[in-house]
Amino acid sequence: MLYFTRWKALAIVLTALFICLFAVPNFLPEKMVASWPKWAQRHVVLGLDLQGGSHILLEVDTKAVRKEMLETLRDDMRRVLREARIGYTGLVVRGSSAEVRIREGANADQALEKLRTLSQPLGGILSATGQRSLDVTSEAGGLIRLTLSEPAIVERVRQSVDQSIQIIERRVNELGTVEPLIEREGTDRILVQVPGLQDPTRLKQLLGKTAKLDFRMVDTGNSVEQATQGQVPLDDDVLYSSSQPKTPYLVEKRVLVSGADLTDAQPGFDQRTSEPIVSFRFNTSGARKFAEVTQQNVGKPFAIVLDNEVISAPVIREPILGGSGQISGSFTVQSANDLAILLRAGALPAPLTIIEERTVGPGLGADSIAKGKISSYVGAAMVIIFMLATYGLFGLFANIAVAINVAMIFGVLSMLDATLTLPGIAGIVLTVGIAVDSNVLIYERIREEVRGGRTPINAIDAGFSRALATILDSNITTFIAAAMLFYIGTGPVRGFAVTLGIGIITTVFTAFTLTRLIVASWVRWRRPQRVPI
């Protein structure tokens, strides 16, 4: 156990040195590291609990997606039946299906056939599953039921998440923060992590808004008062203003131009009133539609509707032919700016709900770093002194091995671009505690072998070979626990699992190689007559 060939010793030292070197960028100023090649720049990332920032978990509103799918389905069924000139009564949405009763005498078979065309194969033409988007069934009395299949809903939710991620990226990038992380979690969730925000309120406002913008006509032919009392005309909605006090408007359901037709939106100031406004520009088809509508409706009011709230309802004074316009409506500079961001980024396909939020202010983060440092230094110092007191020279060997061990943990963390959290620092401190355990196991075994009457070199040799098996066994159990923790944990807890797991691996490596090498070199050099422990 104490004999190392020259190349083997060299390999051990080089491996340890190589891993330790990866830790170097963490301790150098950022500017200096920036000029290095990419692979050498890898470094430990501070977790949100240390550098401050927001962790926000969003969920796509599956109910809203389902509702919208059903409404589209109902509209499609109406269109199909009308086009085929098939008479029907009662077209309703019930549960997760839409039902229609074909009028007596009409051709129910033809209706069924036409309605079947609405059902599409899922997963594109390459899909071999044979699943379709709709189940079409018919019952006696001309009742036809189209049911949304569960895979179709899941597929739509998945698409919504993909689109939402793109839109959220555009919105968050406008905030000008460094390295935001936006990724899918599971089927219907999106994780947004933005470091270094003092106040996440604005971020949440930007994330939470669907930002569905519509231009619609205000219905001046009917009375708003009657509508608010419940008599809403069939083609109208009652919508309220976004500003206080909430004023009701009677707005046509028909959308003239939607936010999807916008190409640009910018915040600005009104030249006359110098109030904050948002100016926008339509794409070609949007501009054409808008021109047409404004030509036909000069003198009438139209409503600019954002997420079912009326931002403003100006009267069309003259046809707007240039394809650009402006929205004014009691904005502040901030809210005008945010609306412009939202309009540029586009509307979310479905509403998102914040289901988890964790925000740490930069002050607390800095405090945590300081506390993490102090506790690590004190902990390490106490362990080092204790080991020296207990094992003397061998304690020094152990301390050298532990120091290299910690450097290697930082090296591996850097290689993996891993995140260091406050519990992660605790994990490192604990690793110092167990890393010395491997030395304790070895040394105690050596003491025993010496008492058993072996010569010093024999005892050291036997001590190592017997203790290493134990070290392996005992560390694997802890490693299993760390692996489980990594699997179930999120955020800071995961950071703990990572450092603990890496710490165990480096501990075993050092015990098997470095500690042995150090002791072996000492034995060769001093040829001890007695073991000094």
Partner 1 sequence: MRLLRIVPDETKFDFMRFRRISFPISALMSILAISLYFFHGLNFGIDFKGGTLIEVQTKAGDADLAKMRATLGSLGLGEVQLQQFGAPNDVLIRIAEQPGGDAAQQTAVAKARGALGDAYDYRRVEVVGPRVSGELLSYGVIGLGLAIFCILIYLWFRFEWQFALGAMIANVHDIVLTIGFMSVTQIDFDLTSIAALLTILGYSLNDTVVIYDRIREMLRRYKKLPMPDLLNASVNQTLSRSVITHVTVSLALLSLLLFGGEAIHSFTATMMFGVVLVGTYTSVFIASPILIYLGVGTGRDSLTAPAKKDDKP
Which of positions 34-73 make contact with partner 1 (CB under 8 A)? 49, 57, 59
Q: Give the pairing of strands 45-46 and 419-420.
A: parallel
| Distance (Å, whole) CA 248 – CA 274 | 27
Q: Which of 434, 446, 460, 508 binds partner 1 (CB under 8 A)?
A: 434
Least Cβ distance, residue 379 to partner 1 (angstroms): 3
Residue whose CB is less far from partner 1, 73 or 500: 500
Tell which positions 359-378 bind partner 1, by CB under 8 A: 359-361, 363-364, 367-368, 371-372, 374-376, 378
Residue whose CB is less far from partner 1, 250 or 502: 502
Least Cβ distance, residue 529 to partner 1 (angstroms): 17
Residue 437 touching partner 1 (CB under 8 A) = yes
- DSSP-assigned letters across all residues of 93-151: EETTEEEEEEPTTS-HHHHHHHHHTT--BTT-TT--S--BSEEEEEETTTEEEEEE-HH
Least Cβ distance, residue 443 to partner 1 (angstroms): 8
Least Cβ distance, residue 306 to partner 1 (angstroms): 18
Least Cβ distance, residue 433 to partner 1 (angstroms): 4
- CB burial of residue 209 (10 Å; 0-12, 13-18, 19+): buried
Residue 391 touching partner 1 (CB under 8 A) = yes
User: If phi over 0 gives left and psi between -120 and 50 gives alpha, with beta otherwise, what is residue 323?
Assistant: left
Tokens of 209: 């808004």
Helices (H) and strands (E) in the chain, counts: 16, 19
- C-alpha dihedral over 450, 453, 458, 461, to 10 degrees? -40
Least Cβ distance, residue 213 to partner 1 (angstroms): 22
Q: Which of 353, 417, 524, 526 binds partner 1 (CB under 8 A)?
A: 353
372 phi, psi to nearest 5 deg: -60, -45
End-to-end Cα spacing for the chain? 19
Tell which positions 312-331 bind partner 1, by CB under 8 A: none
Q: Which of 128, 140, 234, 389 binds partner 1 (CB under 8 A)?
A: 389
- Tell me which H or E stretch contains 356: strand 352-360
| Distance (Å, whole) CA 421 – CA 461 | 40
- Binding region for partner 1 (CB under 8 A) out of 94-102, 168-176, 283-291, 443-451: 443-451
Q: Which of 204, 281, 300, 454 binds partner 1 (CB under 8 A)?
A: 204
Alpha-helix residue ranges (DSSP H) falling in 6-123: 6-21, 30-34, 48-51, 62-83, 108-116
Q: Is 310 within 8 Å of 240 (Cβ atoms)?
A: yes
Residue 444 touching partner 1 (CB under 8 A) = yes
From residue 461, how far is each of 1, 170, 249 by CA, in Å?
A: 5, 63, 90
Cα radius of gyration (the chain)? 35
Residue whose CB is less far from partner 1, 14 or 374: 374
Residues binding partner 1: what is the number (CB under 8 A)?
77
Least Cβ distance, residue 492 to partner 1 (angstroms): 7
Residue whose CB is less far from partner 1, 63 or 254: 63
Tell which positions 474-513 bind partner 1, by CB under 8 A: 474-482, 484-485, 487-490, 492-493, 496-497, 500
Residue whose CB is less far from partner 1, 122 or 533: 533
Least Cβ distance, residue 214 to partner 1 (angstroms): 23
Alpha-helix residue ranges (DSSP H) falling in 254-361: 284-296, 333-345
Least Cβ distance, residue 107 to partner 1 (angstroms): 46
Tokens of 526: 């001093």
Residue whose CB is less far from partner 1, 131 or 376: 376
Least Cβ distance, residue 269 to partner 1 (angstroms): 28
What's at 365, amino acid-wise?
A: G
Q: Which of 75, 264, 356, 417 binds partner 1 (CB under 8 A)?
A: 356
Look-up of token digits 């024999």: 458
Tokens of 328: 């004014």
- Binding region for partner 1 (CB under 8 A) out of 102-110, 119-127, 296-304, 351-359: 351-359
Residue whose CB is less far from partner 1, 328 or 475: 475
Listed residue (187, 79, 100, 96) closest to 142, CA to CA: 100
Residue whose CB is less far from partner 1, 107 or 376: 376
- Binding region for partner 1 (CB under 8 A) out of 147-155, 243-251, 294-302, 434-442: 434-442
**Which 3 state secondary structure label does DSSP give 415?**
helix
Q: Is the peptide bond before 180 cis (omega within 30 degrees of 0)?
A: no
Least Cβ distance, residue 399 to partner 1 (angstroms): 11
Tell which positions 447-476 bind partner 1, by CB under 8 A: 447-448, 451, 466, 469-470, 473-476
